[in-house]
Structure 1
C-alpha cells in the first residue's frame, strides 16, 4: 500500500463509523425513554453485561455510568453463569449487549433474569433476535457496514454501541441534575476533584511564612523572600496587610538607585493584597487568581495571615 492508500483507508474508517453513529439518532424511540426511566426509578444498580468486544465496551459504559451518578458495574456473562448472578438483586436493571442478539453466554442468562424480576435492557443490531425479543426495552445499535474490510471484526458496531451507552449516561446525568461537584466526589484524585473538594488549607504553605514589619529594610525584604521561598514577603501590621514581590524589589532598585537602602517595606509594598478566607475551595482561589492575574494568594483567618496558596 502507498502512503495515499493508508490515508484513504483511514478516511473510509472515519466515514463508516461516523455514519454508524449518526444513524442511531433516527432509530431511538420510546424504548430509549423506557430504558432511562427504568434506570432512574430503580433502587438497585445498573449491571452491564457483554461478551468479547461487546464486553469491553460494556466495561466502559459501566465506568461512565458509575462516575456520573448511576451506580453500575460490569458483569462477565461467563462468570455470571457460574455464580456471579448471586450479585444480581431484583431491583437491578440489567443491560445486555450483543450485536447479533444471539450470543449464547448472554442469552442463557435470560431465564434467570425473568425469574428474578429484573428489568432487561438489550443493545443489539437485530431487533428480531432472541435477546431483543426477551427484553423489556431494546436499543437498536445496528449498522449498515463494519469498517473492517472483511466485515468480520466489530468496528462500526462497537462504536455505535459506545455512543448509545454515552447517550444513556448523559441523559441520566441531565435527568439527575448531576453537577460538577457531584462528579468531583467520584474523582477525588483528579484535577476537578482537587479544585472542587479540596480547600486552600489543604495545599497552602503555612510554615516559615515570610512576615515582615512595615519598617523592614530592603535587605530584610530580600532575606525574607529568599528564606520563605515563595517569591514574596508579607507585610503585616495593625494597619493592614501588604505584599512585596521579588519584582517589586527589582523595580525599587531602578526607582531609588543609591537611596535604595533608605527604603522600607512600607514604601514598596502593594497594600491590600488579594486574600481568601481560610477554608475556601481551591476552585474559588484559582478563579480569584486568574481574575487578578496573580500567582500567590494570602489565606487569612480573622484578619491574620495563616498561609500562602500558590498556583
Structure 2
C-alpha cells in the first residue's frame, strides 16, 4: 500500500520511543558515568578554549578565531544529543515528543553542517599561513575572517532548517521506535508513512556539497601545504611549518573518518550497531579530544590556561 494511503488510515505519531545506545540494562549505571565524564570534559575543555582565546591577546589571531568557533560547534554538537541520552539511561521508558524530536534533529544537524564548512575554512587559513606567509596578514584580515565565519554559520543554519522543515512535512503514523539513541535523519525517514523522496534528495545533496566538498577542499589545501613544506631546505623550517597545521590535520582526520563511514557510503551497508558507536565518536569523543589536541603542544594556549585557572576553580 502506498505511503500516502497508509497515512490516512492511522493516527499521527505524537511521540517516539528511542531504542538507546546499549542493550545491557545492568550496565546502564556504568555507561551513564562514562558518558557523563566525557560530556563534562567536552563542555569544560571547549569552554576553557573559548575563554583562553577571548581573554589572552596573543591568541587574537585568525587561527584561534576559527578554533574558538570550532569549540562552540563542539559544545552545540554534544549538547544536542547527550543531555537527553543521559536522561533516557536513567529511565525505563525512553521517549521523546515529536516536537522535541524535530528540535533535536535541528540542534544536531546545525553543528554537523557548520563543522564541515568550518574545517574547510580552517584548512584554507593553514594553507595561506604556510604557502603565503608574507601575505597572510593581508589575506586573512579581520573583515575576511568575520565574513568567512558568518558564511560558515549561515550555511550550517540553512542546511539544518531545510532538513527540519522537510521532516515536519512528513507523516508518521505507524511504528514509532527510533532505532538510534537520538533523532537523526535516516532512522526518522525509515519510520515515515509518506513519500520521503525530497528528503532523501536533500540529504544526498548535503552529503555531496557539504560532505564531499568539505572533504576534498581540505585535501587539496593539505596537498599544497605538503608540497610547500617539501620545498623548505632546513629541517627546522619544515618542522615549524608542519607544527602550524598538525593539530588541525589530526582534528580533520578524526572527524572525517567518522563522517565518511557514517554518511558517505551506500545505504545498503548501513549497520545500526556499528553506526551508533561511530556516532558517539563524533558527537562526544571528538569534542572531548579537540581541546586537548589544540593545547597539548601549544605554549601560548597553556599560558592562557594557567592565567584562567584561578578564575575557573
- Which of the five TM-score ranges fits, normalised by the shorter chain? under 0.3
Structure showing the higher strand proportion among its residues: 1
In terms of Rg, which structure is larger?
1
Report the TM-score when normalising by structure 2. Answer: 0.22
Per the normalisation by structure 1, the TM-score is 0.22
